[in-house]
Amino acid sequence: MKDQHFKELFRKAVASGGNGDYKKAIRFFSSIVSQTDTYPQALLYLGRSYHALGEYERAVTILKHFINRRPELSAGYFFLGRSYCALEQYDRAVFYLKRARLRDNNNPHIESFLGLSYLKMRKPEKALVFLEQAVHLDPDNTSIYTGYLNALAVQGVRLFHLSDMDMAGQIFRFLEKADKDSLLTHIYLGIIERELGNIDKAIEHTDLSIALSDDPLLKLRKSSLLYQSGRRKEAADSLETLKQHYPEFQNITPKQEDLNRFLAVSLFQENKYVKAIHSSTIKSQSQRPKLAWRYHKARPKINLIKSPFSRNWTICPEHSHKYKASKINKRTNKRITHATYCFHNRKL
């Protein structure tokens, strides 16, 4: 008789949860677990109900009790890992999600949450491994595929910051196929193609960026690219048009060095340090070492060896107020030129 009573309570609880009435479901599940140990699944659903209401810590406590009762089931570990994700305790989430994976290694949801956890931990390479597997297991799940694309974008930006333009370019070209109207993708591809020497493609992506955003700096970047490609009249005409609409551009001359310097300074003032350094790639390189040093000062935890300017410049302290910038030829590994700058006395 009692068993039938608990079955009916369990049925009502599940139905309440299915209808979104989690408070009612909690009352039913709590009644079951307080009266009998024969329905450990009630603990699992009780923890999930608390999670649905945003009471993640209570969900964690109850799901741990369920795992103690049924340690062989993957569900307890998965939902516990999911609750730790909600609490932003991603290291613990990974711990339990991996244990869920040991018991169920073909579950796209486990793979997806593992990927998202690693992404939140700023480990996009590991995130991609699990998200790719999740997409493979459930290719029609748009939510999982979106998470995969987001992880790819993060990895692309990371590689860009490490100056791995070839790999970053491959990632953003793949992202372009997935979403042709992504402003982020076209902005990065515009810079990457320029760094790789593909000026025409850089102009193409900059045009697409301008079509998606009215940012005047994108238009100025196009003028710089036009000048760099040898289309100087177009560059001058483009700059004159910009001057008519943006007073801050009045003092810029249609020279690539001036255009790039203005772009670099503007981006630096917006705290976009990496893009500022790449925008300062000009023949004389007169501003790049100073941008590089200020980037390091602004972000002191960045290792100089891995920072975005390291492949062209080595920054070495010489005195308390001077620094030497040495351009390195990567093929011969020999120093080509040396220049000393006093950063306290000269403005950027």
**Residue 96 Cα to chain centre, angstroms:** 24
pLDDT attached to residue 51 = 95
Q: Which of 171-185, 207-221, 252-266 comes out lowest in average pLDDT?
A: 252-266
pLDDT of residue 253: 63
Q: How far apart are CA 106 and CA 282, in angstroms?
A: 52
* Proportion of the chain above pLDDT 90, given as a percent: 41
3-state secondary structure the chain: CHHHHHHHHHHHHHHHHHCCCHHHHHHHHHHHHHHCCCCCHHHHHHHHHHHHCCCHHHHHHHHHHHHHHCCCCHHHHHHHHHHHHHCCCHHHHHHHHHHHHHHCCCCHHHHHHHHHHHHHCCCHHHHHHHHHHHHHHCCCCHHHHHHHHHHHHHHHHHHHHCCCHHHHHHHHHHHHHHCCCCHHHHHHHHHHHHHCCCHHHHHHHHHHHHHHCCCHHHHHHHHHHHHHCCCHHHHHHHHHHHHHHCHHHCCCCCCHHHHHHHHHHHHHHCCCHHHHHHHCCCCCCCCHHHHHHHHHHHCCCCCCCCCCCCCCEEEEECCCCEEEEEEECCCCCCEEEEEEEECCCCCC
Q: What's the pLDDT score for residue 258?
A: 54
Tokens standing for residue 292:
């590089």
For the entire predicted model, the pTM comes to 0.64
The per-residue pLDDT for range 63-102, each reduced to its tens digit, is 999 999 999 999 999 999 999 999 999 999 999 999 999 9
Res 159 pLDDT > 70: yes
pLDDT tens digits for range 229-243: 888 888 888 878 888
pLDDT tops 90 at residue 111 = yes
Mean pLDDT estimate for the chain: 76
Reported as a single tens digit per residue, the pLDDT across 6-35 is 788 888 888 988 899 999 999 989 988 888
User: What is the structure's pLDDT at 37?
Assistant: 83
Tell me what the mean pLDDT of segment 304-331 comes to.
35
Asked which of 197-201, 330-334, 340-344 is least confident by mean pLDDT, the reply is 340-344
* Domain regions of the chain by residue span: 2-128, 283-348
Q: Residue 69: which of 100, 37, 94 has the closest Cα?
A: 37
Instruction: Report pLDDT for 287.
Output: 45
Q: Which of 138-142, 261-265, 314-318, 326-330 has the highest mean pLDDT?
A: 138-142
In the predicted structure, residue 192 carries a pLDDT above the cut 50: yes
Q: CA–CA separation, 249 vs 245, rounded Å?
A: 9
Q: How confident is the model at residue 255 (pLDDT cuts 50, 70, 90)?
A: low
Q: Give the residue with greater pLDDT, 267 vs 348.
A: 267
- Provide the pLDDT confidence category of residue 109 given band limits of 50, 70 and 90: very high
Task: State the CATH architecture for 2-128.
Answer: Alpha Horseshoe (1.25)
pLDDT greater than 60 at residue 339? no
